[in-house]
Structure 1
Amino acid sequence: MEIVLKKGTFLVFLCVAILASAQISVKRLNDPAIVAQHKRMTFESWGDWRPYPKYFLGIQTNFAYATVWGMWAPKINRDYKDGDDIRPLKSTGEQNLRFAQLKFQEEEVKKIKAASDTIYKRSVQDLAHWTSATVDADPLWLLYYKRMLKPITEFPDNPQNFMEWRLKDQQTFETLNSTGTLKRLQEELDLIKEKYTWSRTMDMPRGKRFIMFHETLIRWRIFVQELRRYNNRTTLLLDYRSILNSHLPTALPTQWTPTSDKGIVQNVMQQYKHKY
């Protein structure tokens, strides 16, 4: 029984102690001086210096005020009370300036991020334009240059007969080969095919690549025109030789291969100048 009474007494004492401490803590939280300090540290007002002074016959009688803000207070307290308004959350306060600066920095970060994203996207686009791996997907290549440059790939690298050279017959092929014309045409063909290969395989800006495509196309057209011109000219010369062999009493030598109309006339005049 005594043990039960002792436990009950202890519990009652514990409850009283908890309630007392709660009341004390509430009183401290609602201390007017602390509330005034909170107001000074936020945005409300600079002032309300609690505890307030009390005078009796001109003599300070409030000991709390004298030790906090008055004559017995530390110098740092008096300087704080008589100093400038240093509320951190006022319109021009340090904390608000930090908030404004932070907001400004956030905006700058957004701009930098947007700029970096733009640079990244531009770099990816530039890489797609630079690399030779994406040439086959380029619209300009698909719509025009692929079709226009296709004959270059279809033309043999080292033509060996008149059919591969796209000539009229074997005699024309032998004539051009004997005069060294095919050798020069082969050198030009190698240059065209080499430039075409470079434009397709090297990494370069898109504009420069299509300039190379265009230059290759122009050079190929000149090559085809020159080849056609030599083909027609040689055919004409062979026809002249056939006519001369059939109508003149003394035929021209088989090994004689004129290079131009002027050469034909000069050779004929040289052979027959003493006969008439």
Structure 2
Amino acid sequence: MKTTFILLILTGMGFSCFAQKIIKDKAIIYQQERMVYKQWDKDKFVPEFKWYNPGSYAAYALTWLLQPGYKNGPDIRPLRAGGEQTQRLALAAAMQVSSNFYKKEADTLRNTALAEFYNYSGTVSATDPLYNLYYKKELAPLDNIEANAFKNVPANVVLYMAESGAYNWYFTEMNSLRERFENAKRVDIDRGQRILLYHRIMLEHRKLAENWKYKLAMSEMMLAYKEKMKNKIEKGNIYFNGTTKSEDEIMNDILKNRKTLKP
């Protein structure tokens, strides 16, 4: 019997523990609404004191007589029209607008700085479109002066130009143009001035290359004429004297005869 009684008590306690009841307290609901943004209605400060219900005075006194400044004071919702949180949100929005303006300004300054950098810096001069499309090709011979000096030139002309010092002069002038060209690519100057330097170097290179071709052509003609005259003299000496003399011996004979003919 005792066991059955205990089981009934435990069963009742179990049902009472797991039972749920929805509480709708207007005072709590209105207070939650006052704590955020929804309302600050003076008629919704409950519990209220009603003269025809003397029992309501105790709840009213415990709630509002202890906090007269809250019930009768100003609207202090944080999200009201002029509330603290509303002001913070408005300030945050204003700061966002200001931040976007400064970001745009900073981006403009950044783009301007990059444009100035690309315009002046020699570090990125190799990416210039006009340089890549024209001047790089026109001034490519400066990259290998030795290989371009004697293209399709006979060996005797090469030897003559080297011995006469003409090649040394040509190499010195070309090397000077190459150094100027490299400096023009590295120096930090305005893009327009850099292009003018390229153009001036290109014109000087063309003039020097034409001069060098002229010297090669004249040297080849001179050597060919000299060889022809040598063969003619040798054939004439064989025909008239029956002897063969070298070119130096012939020149010595001419000088001796010239001295003898002097008064």
With the length of structure 1 as denominator, give the TM-score of the two structures. Answer: 0.53
Instruction: Tell me the residue number matched to 1:98.
Output: 88
Distance 1:8 1:205 in 2: 100
In structure 2, relative to structure 1, the CA distance for the partners of 1:216 and 1:7 (3 Å cut) is farther
From 42, 47, 52, the counterpart of 2:48 = 52
Is the Cα contact below 8 Å between 2:145 and 2:174 reproduced in 1?
A: no
Residue 10, structure 1, aligned to residue 10, structure 2: yes
Provide the residue aligned with 2:208 in structure 1.
223
Q: By how many angstroms is 1:10 displaced?
A: 0.9
Alignment of 1:9-48 (within 5 A): 9-19=9-19, 22-23=20-21, 26-27=22-23, 30-41=24-35, 42-47=37-42, 48=44
Taking every aligned residue pair, what percent have the same amino acid on both sides?
21
- Give yes or no for the alignment of 1:197 onto 2:192: no
Q: 1:55 to 1:130 in 2, by over 3 A?
A: farther
Q: Is the 8 A contact 2:78 2:84 kept in 1?
A: yes
Q: For the structure 1 residues 231 and 38, does the alpha-carbon distance in structure 2 shift closer, same or farther, using more than 3 Å as the test?
A: same
Segments of structure 1 that go 5 or more residues without pairing to the other structure are 236-253, 255-276
CA gap of 1:227–1:176, structure 2 versus 1, over 3 A, is: farther
Displacement of 1:144: 1.0
Counterpart-to-counterpart distance in 1, 2:97 and 2:40: 31
Cα pair distance change 1:174/1:32, threshold 3 Å: closer
Q: Aligned-pair RMSD on alpha carbons? A: 5.1
Which one-letter code corresponds to 1:3 in the other structure? T
SS at 1:69 equivalent: helix
Structure 1 distance, partners of 2:100, 2:4, is: 71
Partner of 1:63: 58
How many residues get paired?
213
**Contact 2:122-2:188 within 8 A present in 1 as well:** yes
Structure 2, unpaired ranges of 5+? 221-250, 252-263
Indicate yes or no: 2:76 matched with 1:82.
no
| Higher relative helix content | 2
- CA displacement, residues 66-98 of structure 1 (integer Å, 9 cap, x when unaligned): 34333xx2xxx2222333222112233222333
Structure 2 length normalisation: TM-score? 0.55
* CA displacement at 1:188 relative to structure 2: 3.1
Aligned residue for 1:51, secondary structure, equals coil
Counterparts of 2:143 and 2:169, CA distance in 1: 19
Aligned mates of 1:126, 1:64 — CA distance in 2: 77
Cα drift, residue 31 of structure 1: 2.2
